[in-house]
């Protein structure tokens, strides 16, 4: 009889109700679980779990897997209930800065409330649509409306009155979390009548009563309802960000510009009156002090947290190389630019590089709350899949010059390839052949978000390295390998299963060195580089290695968020995924002029990728550092030069693989390569004049035009005569023309600018 009951139970469980696919993904991410971890627990493939969460083509689990999956989701739903409706939660305090230890708190995404109502007058005006957190808009974001004049529709209301609605009814909600219903940030400005206004995302404007910086911080935490929900269940909510215009700086007693001494120090002096005001009000500043990106906080009291971040554009907080002219935009437009970036990436925590690194931590916090003990208490424990809260030493070969691990080396010793891991992006060029000189044009193609694509699906080390001698190479094991690859001959390479290609190896760069030179002996390489040598059909025998057995796909979530941010913003600019090649090239032509503000967001997203990876191997930044001594960045768990090297290695071999496939099929070889830009000689001016498309389909494994990361776009076209004239003028037959292909302007070739 019990067997009969078990059969009935199994039959019922096989039809167990499951939550929507979006909720399944939310629950998994809230607990910090990866697709691989869920797949391993349920004994299915990773792709199967991904299909269960797919929005486009959802696949419903069946049989015993469905029963187990439903049980998992039910348990997670108990731990992480769905967020409350927007109007029910009062404003709450945000977390303190990274310098303060995070207390052990329950994993559910909840935060204490101050219980105070927003009593300041609220103004709204018709303004750009900014997508809610975790959303991907289908329609382009609207342009910002002009700064509102003081008219009947924007007059302050009595305290305690309801918000006045003048924005269109179609304006999207700023966030589904009632604690942060006014968005992640505000631009603080002073209007012509002397009123202090806070320009928020979505066209909202708040009347600010604060008369000083300490009062402004208090108002932000108690009434402004600014901030952003955490990106991961064990993580922290984003601090409210206040952007101070020049008029606001004057109102609050701050200088419009820093002096040379203050700029070099990166902060105002401790004796400045505003710094003293904050100290008297018992507010603290982080080690960065009151500078372009300042964090003002009070030490945590239990789970009570209070922190506000300031951004001062006129103090060069927004680097023009990445943010364009954002610092000169009017308040409403600046709120739009930063708001779109915050909603799609995260609230800026500093430069784009700092934000890129902080995004990794926000998606994989180092700790999480444990299961309750016998007394119902939770404790802080390691969050699986994260880098942990303590830094780990790199391998000696991975250490940059001046690292403490190298303190015993002779003072002027220069490490060679057999002592130092040197995985960098391509900077390679060669003279043109006679046949190429008969062609008319040089056409450059550029890989979209190349380093982000290189991070996608990459297995990287999470813990300390293990030193092994004479290891057997394992392509699935991240690490650094000392191996001789000088025997790899690019004239004959494997391009498929049992399929070899005869190529002109002299016209190809080596995939093993950034300069494209053939290795001369043993050298240190990251795992993707050695694996590619095997893929080309050659045997590899490592001499020694530093491998990391504790590993995982740490950067997957980071890549996915930045990819989605990039694609959503490009779609707003009229460039969509899955466009036909000719349509894509036409859409890319002048896309920045369609909405210059969203074009700024695109540039910032790209800089977040490169800068975040660069921060993984941050070098000393002055502060009296001397070679052989530690520097500040080494104290971070996210100082991981091995992860940076692995991403660059994979990006470089991905590009080389496409170049080899293209050469084997077309007989065409690149003239120059710079990082993710490749230049070919062609008869026409378009990439379609040399990329082998058939019936709209690209060469399998070769270059494909498109907006997605890893696909290519048109970088620029110049004439062959231009290229030869430039090389002759500078007497440099191998001058890297990829550096100048975009607009043909050649600057000082000595510094590579």
Q: What is the chain's alpha carbon radius of gyration, rounded to the nearest angstrom?
A: 28
Relative to beta strand 241-244, strand 185-190 is parallel
For residue 91, name the pLDDT band (cuts at 50, 70, 90).
very low
User: At residue 124, does pLDDT exceed 50?
Assistant: no
Q: What is the per-residue pLDDT for 249? A: 97
How many CB atoms neighbour CB 468 within 10 A? 15
pLDDT at 48: 83
- pLDDT surpasses 90 at 76: no
What is the pLDDT averaged over residues 516-542? 97
Residues 6+ apart with CB under 8 A from 609: 356, 449, 451, 452, 562
Under 8 Å between Cβ of 303 and 247: no
pLDDT digits (tens, 9 = 90+) for 371-399: 888 888 888 899 999 999 999 999 999 99
Query: Which pLDDT belongs to residue 5?
Result: 53
Q: Who's near 114: CB < 8 A, 6+ residues apart?
A: 90, 91, 92, 93, 221, 222
Sign of CA dihedral 126, 128, 133, 138: positive
Model confidence at 370, pLDDT cuts 50, 70, 90, reads confident
Judged on CB neighbours under 10 Å (0-12, 13-18, 19+), 44 is middle
Per-residue model confidence (pLDDT) at position 364: 95
Task: Determine the pLDDT at residue 622.
Answer: 76
Query: What's the rounded mean pLDDT across residues 273-293?
Result: 95
Report which DSSP code applies to 604.
H
What domains sit in the chain, N to C, each tagged with a CATH number?
2-79 (1.10.260), 86-101+116-349 (no CATH)
Highest mean pLDDT among 135-149, 286-300, 449-463, 496-510: 449-463
Reading the block at residue 433, the tokens are 């052949």
Kind and range of the H or E run holding 429: strand 427-429
Confidence of residue 411 (pLDDT cuts 50, 70, 90): confident
Is the pLDDT assigned to residue 156 strictly greater than 70? no
**Percent of the chain whose pLDDT exceeds 70:** 84
Q: Lowest mean pLDDT of 491-505, 534-548, 572-586, name the range.
A: 491-505
Residue 580 has pLDDT above 70, yes or no: yes
Strand partners, 479: 547
| pTM for the predicted model, two decimal places | 0.79
Distances (CA, A) of 404 to 76, 613, 628, 630, 649: 44, 22, 4, 6, 25
Confidence at 584, pLDDT banded by 50, 70, 90: very high
Residue 74, Cα to own-chain centre: how many angstroms? 32
DSSP state of 697: B
pLDDT band at 694 (very low <50, low <70, confident <90, very high): confident
Convert the pLDDT of each residue in 16-74 to its tens digit: 678 888 888 888 888 878 887 888 888 888 778 888 888 766 678 877 788 888 888 88
For 238, list phi and psi in degrees, rounded to 5. Answer: -75, 140
Instruction: Give the tokens for residue 201.
Output: 């995302």
**How, if at all, do strands 677-682 and 479-484 pair?**
unpaired
pLDDT score recorded for residue 116: 38
User: Is residue 562 scored above 70 in pLDDT?
Assistant: yes
- What token pair was written down for 40? 């391993």
Question: Across the strands, what pairs with 714?
Answer: 445
CA distances to 131, 183, 228, 568 from 138, in Å: 10, 20, 22, 8
**In terms of Cα–Cα distance, which of 322, 354, 317 is closest to 604?**
322
Tell me what the pLDDT averaged over the chain comes to: 85
- Candidates 342, 335, 334; CA nearest to 362 is 342
β-partners of residue 304 are 301
Top mean-pLDDT range of 151-160, 232-241, 419-428: 419-428
Q: Is the pLDDT of residue 179 over 90?
A: no
Asked whether the predicted pLDDT for residue 505 surpasses 70, the reply is yes
Q: Which helix (H) or strand (E) holds 381?
A: strand 380-382
**CA contacts within 13 A on the Cβ side of 597:** 24
Per-residue confidence band for 657, with pLDDT thresholds at 50, 70 and 90: very high
pLDDT of residue 74: 86
- CA gap 543, 521 in Å, rounded: 12
Mean pLDDT along residues 312-341: 97
- What helix, strand, coil percent values describe the chain, rounded to 5? 35, 15, 50
- CB atoms near residue 147 (< 10 Å): 17
Q: Is 404 exposed, middle or buried (0-12, 13-18, 19+ CB in 10 A)?
A: middle
- Lowest-confidence segment of 180-184, 350-354, 375-379, 648-652 by average pLDDT: 375-379
Distance CA 509, CA 670 (A): 9
Q: What sections of 144-302 are H helices per DSSP? A: 213-222, 246-251, 260-265, 273-280
User: What are 280's two structure tokens?
Assistant: 């008297």
What count of other Cβ atoms lies within 10 Å of the Cβ of residue 435?
9
Residue 133 pLDDT exceeds 90: no
Residues 410-434: what's their mean pLDDT? 95
* Element housing 98 (H / E): none
- Paired tokens of 467: 């030193």
Specify whether the CB–CB gap between 327 and 257 falls below 8 A. no
Spatial CB neighbours of 588, under 8 Å, sequence gap ≥ 6 = 575, 707, 713, 714
pLDDT band at 496 (very low <50, low <70, confident <90, very high): confident
pLDDT band at 720 (very low <50, low <70, confident <90, very high): very high
The Cα 107–Cα 233 span in angstroms is 6
pLDDT at 511: 97
In percent, how much of the chain has pLDDT > 90? Answer: 68
In the structure, what pLDDT confidence band is assigned to residue 258 with cuts at 50, 70 and 90? very high
Reported confidence tier of residue 183, pLDDT bands at 50, 70, 90: very high
Within 573-727, strands assigned E span: 672-674, 677-682, 712-719
């Amino acid at each position: 009889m019990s067997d009969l009951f078990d059969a009935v139970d199994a039959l019922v469980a096989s039809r167990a109700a499951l939550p929507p696919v979006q909720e399944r993904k939310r629950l998994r991410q809230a607990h910090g679980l990866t697709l691989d971890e869920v797949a391993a627990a349920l004994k299915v493939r990773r792709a199967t779990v991904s299909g269960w969460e797919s929005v486009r083509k959802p696949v419903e689990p069946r049989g015993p897997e469905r029963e187990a999956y439903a049980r998992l989701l039910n348990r997670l739903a108990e731990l992480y209930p769905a967020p409350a409706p927007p109007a029910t939660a009062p404003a709450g305090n945000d977390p303190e800065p990274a310098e303060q230890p995070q207390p052990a708190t329950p994993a559910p995404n909840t935060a204490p409330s101050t219980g105070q109502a927003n009593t300041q007058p609220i103004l709204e005006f018709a303004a750009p649509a900014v997508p809610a957190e975790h959303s991907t808009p289908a329609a382009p974001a609207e342009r910002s409306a002009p700064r509102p004049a003081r008219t009947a529709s924007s007059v302050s209301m009595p305290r305690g009155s309801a918000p006045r609605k003048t924005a269109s009814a179609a304006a999207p909600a700023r966030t589904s979390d009632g604690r942060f219903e006014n968005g992640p940030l505000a631009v603080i400005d002073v209007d012509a009548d002397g009123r202090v206004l806070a320009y928020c995302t979505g066209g909202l404007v708040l009347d600010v009563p604060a008369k000083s910086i300490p009062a402004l911080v208090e108002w932000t935490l108690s009434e402004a309802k600014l901030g952003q929900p955490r990106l991961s269940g064990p993580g922290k909510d984003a601090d409210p960000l206040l952007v101070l215009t020049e008029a606001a700086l004057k109102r609050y007693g701050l200088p419009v510009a820093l002096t040379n001494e203050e700029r070099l120090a990166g902060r105002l002096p401790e004796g400045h009156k505003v710094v003293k005001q904050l100290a008297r009000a018992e507010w603290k500043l982080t080690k960065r002090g009151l500078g372009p990106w300042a964090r003002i906080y009070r030490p945590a009291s239990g789970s009570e947290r209070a922190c506000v971040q300031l951004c001062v554009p006129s103090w060069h907080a927004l680097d023009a190389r990445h943010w364009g002219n954002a610092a000169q935009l009017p308040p409403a437009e600046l709120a739009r630019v930063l708001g779109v970036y915050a909603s799609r990436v995260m609230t800026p925590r500093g430069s784009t590089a700092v934000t890129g690194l902080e995004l990794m931590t926000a998606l994989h916090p180092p700790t999480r709350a444990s299961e309750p003990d016998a007394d119902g208490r939770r404790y802080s424990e390691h969050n699986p899949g994260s880098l942990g809260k303590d830094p780990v030493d790199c391998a000696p070969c991975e250490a940059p010059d001046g690292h403490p691990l190298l303190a015993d080396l002779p003072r002027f010793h220069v490490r060679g390839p057999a002592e130092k891991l040197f995985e960098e992006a391509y900077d390679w060029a060669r003279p043109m052949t006679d046949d190429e000189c008969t062609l008319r044009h040089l056409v450059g193609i550029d890989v979209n978000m190349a380093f982000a694509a290189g991070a996608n699906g990459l297995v990287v080390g999470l813990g300390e390295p293990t030193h092994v001698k004479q290891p057997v190479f394992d392509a699935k094991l991240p690490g650094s390998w000392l191996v001789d690859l000088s025997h790899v001959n690019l004239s004959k390479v494997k391009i498929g299963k049992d399929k070899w290609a005869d190529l002109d190896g002299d016209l190809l760069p080596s995939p093993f060195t950034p300069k494209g030179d053939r290795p001369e002996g043993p050298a240190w390489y990251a795992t993707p580089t050695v694996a590619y040598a095997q893929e080309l059909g050659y045997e590899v025998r490592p001499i020694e290695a530093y491998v990391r057995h504790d590993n995982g796909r740490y950067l997957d979530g980071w890549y996915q968020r930045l990819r989605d941010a990039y694609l959503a913003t490009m779609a707003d600019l009229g460039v969509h995924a899955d466009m036909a090649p000719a349509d894509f090239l036409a859409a890319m032509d002048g896309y920045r002029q369609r909405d210059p503000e969203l074009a700024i967001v695109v540039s910032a997203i790209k800089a977040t990728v490169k800068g975040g990876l660069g921060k993984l191997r941050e070098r000393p930044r002055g502060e009296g550092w001397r070679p052989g001594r530690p520097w500040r960045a080494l104290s971070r768990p996210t100082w991981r030069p091995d992860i940076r090297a692995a991403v660059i290695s994979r990006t470089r071999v991905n590009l080389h693989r496409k170049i080899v496939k293209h050469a084997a099929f077309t007989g065409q070889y690149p003239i120059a390569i710079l990082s993710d830009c490749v230049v070919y000689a062609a008869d026409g001016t378009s990439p379609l004049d040399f990329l082998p498309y058939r019936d709209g389909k690209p060469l399998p494994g070769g270059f494909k035009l498109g907006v997605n990361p890893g696909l290519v776009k048109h970088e620029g076209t110049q004439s062959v005569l231009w290229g030869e004239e430039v090389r002759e003028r500078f007497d440099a037959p191998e001058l890297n023309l990829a550096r100048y292909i975009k607009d043909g302007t050649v600057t000082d070739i000595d510094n590579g600018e």
